[in-house]
Structure 1
Amino acid sequence: MSNTFPAASGHRHNRYLLMRHGHSQANQQGLIIGSPERGLAGFGLSAIGREQLDGLLADWCWATPGRVLHSDFRRTTETAERIARHFGLWLETEPRLRERHFGAFEGEGDDRYAEVWARDADDPAHRHAGVEAVVDVAARMAGLVDDLEQRHAGETILLVSHGDPLQILLTALEGRELSRHRDRAPLAPASITVL
């Protein structure tokens, strides 16, 4: 399977703000929470995450979003709710923005990410221990952007997701080798990247 993803060609019809959720209880506890069974109902924002969002909204320096789409995990939902409430917007739940599923590593310490990422660097199609392959994450994330490009034009759309999926999306849209998604600086909690 190819180690690259076709780069987006030409001009986009919309502006996208890619946001990683605020600091979460999973971050605080140092746990991998990538399964819907645990992430939908638990592990919301930490007190640090709520403070991050208060500061972000007080100093907002990006275009005002007209739409907010978010992963249905609790930490991303709580992040998106605060943004939407601030701007008076409706929320749109989008499962394609979910966290990457980390298979057998679910619930383990976040030091185990390094093992997954080392395998990603060798083979972005690996599914070792039930981990969702980088190529599959890239396809679902880029597929969402493609769908939004078909349905909307001239909008600023905020996509609230998770660190790994967003880094994989950025790598895919740049047309870089998917095995190198960890080469870019990690996206900090509550950070926004303009696409």
Structure 2
Amino acid sequence: MPTRIYLVRHGATELTAEDRFAGATDVSLSEEGRGQVSALAERLRCDTLDAVYASPMGRTLETARIIAQPHAVEPLTEPDLREIDYGHWEGKTRDEVETGYPDEYEAWQEDPLTIAPAGGESGIQVLARALPVMRRIVQQHERRSVLVVSHKGTNRLLVSSLLGFDARGYRDRLDQSPAALTILDFASVTRARLRVFNDVSHYGGVPPRVLQRRLSRWWSRPGP
């Protein structure tokens, strides 16, 4: 039996629909987000969860508690699973950042893995703190099933690294919808297999089209 990680992004917040950079900003789940997470909790009710870990942000802890409640497991917080800190972009919409910091934004768009907004973090810095946590969880719960609740950017960086993908394209090539379920099986700490990715079937369909921009210009560009 492999070690199974249920990797979940927190449910929607009020800022999710506003296309804002809110990595280090602590915000609660919206009513829509609680509904999404409750649906996922029901989906996982009959699965075995031996442990639950979460970023310490309000939106991730609430997500973890809702899912963990039927399993009578108390979530453990891991500060290094928190979201990317966007520095002086925090709380601003993508349009505001693109207009107010055009050169910085353009550089970041081209290489978010190594470029960071002023006062913020690069993708490499996030991986440097989050990947050791994931490896430790896998080691400590060998042949068990564990829920890990984190954030959109952090989850995509983790998946890229664990599967050996080029993480420079994590923002444009991988998505993480609110309350999405990703399942990874580990034969060892360094050997992961992706079983499920960004599955939101538990809340009855894909996110509304209005959210497709998701802070990534790549998918917003008009076609040829």
Class of the TM-score when normalised by the shorter of the 2 chains: 0.7 to 0.9
TM-score, normalization by structure 2: 0.71
Partner residue, 2:32: 48
Distance 1:81 1:55, change over 3 A: same
State the partner residue of 2:138.
Answer: 149
| Cα displacement (A) at 1:50 | 1.0
Structure with bigger strand share is 2
Match of 2:183 in 1: 194
Q: Which amino acid aligns with 1:46?
A: S
Q: What SS class does the counterpart of residue 107 from structure 1 fall into?
A: coil
In 2: Cα distance, 1:188 partner to 1:123 partner: 19
Q: Deviations over 1:53-97 (max 9, x none)?
A: 222223338842111100111110110110111221111011111
Question: 1:1-195, aligned counterparts within 5 Å?
Answer: 14-35=3-24, 38-39=25-26, 43-60=27-44, 63-111=47-95, 119=108, 121-122=110-111, 124-195=113-184
Give the % identical residues.
Answer: 32
> Aligned-pair distance for 1:110?
4.3
- TM-aligned CA deviation for residue 142 of structure 1: 1.3
State the aligned residue count.
179
Q: Encode CA deviations 1:161-190: one digit per residue, 9 max, x unaligned.
A: 010110011111122222111243411100
The residue matched to 1:17 in structure 2 has which SS?
A: strand
Summarize the Cα distance change of 1:97–1:149 in structure 2 as closer, same or farther, 3 Å threshold: same
The equivalent residue for 1:6 is none
- For structure 2, the residue ranges without an aligned partner over 5 or more in a row are 99-103, 185-224
> Which ranges in structure 1 are unaligned for 5 or more consecutive residues?
1-11
| AA at the equivalent of 1:52 | Q
Counterpart amino acid of residue 54 in structure 1 = S
Q: Which residue of 2 aligns with 1:4?
A: none
RMSD over aligned CA atoms reads 2.5
Which residue identity is paired with 2:48?
Answer: T
Supply the AA of the counterpart residue of 2:140: R
Cα distance in 2, alignment partners of residues 142 and 20 from structure 1:
16
Q: Choose 1 or 2 for highest CA Rg.
A: 2
More moved, 146-155 vs 63-72: 146-155
Change (3 A) 1:176 1:128: same
Do the aligned partners of residues 81 and 123 (structure 1) sit closer, same or farther apart at CA in structure 2, a change above 3 Å counting?
closer
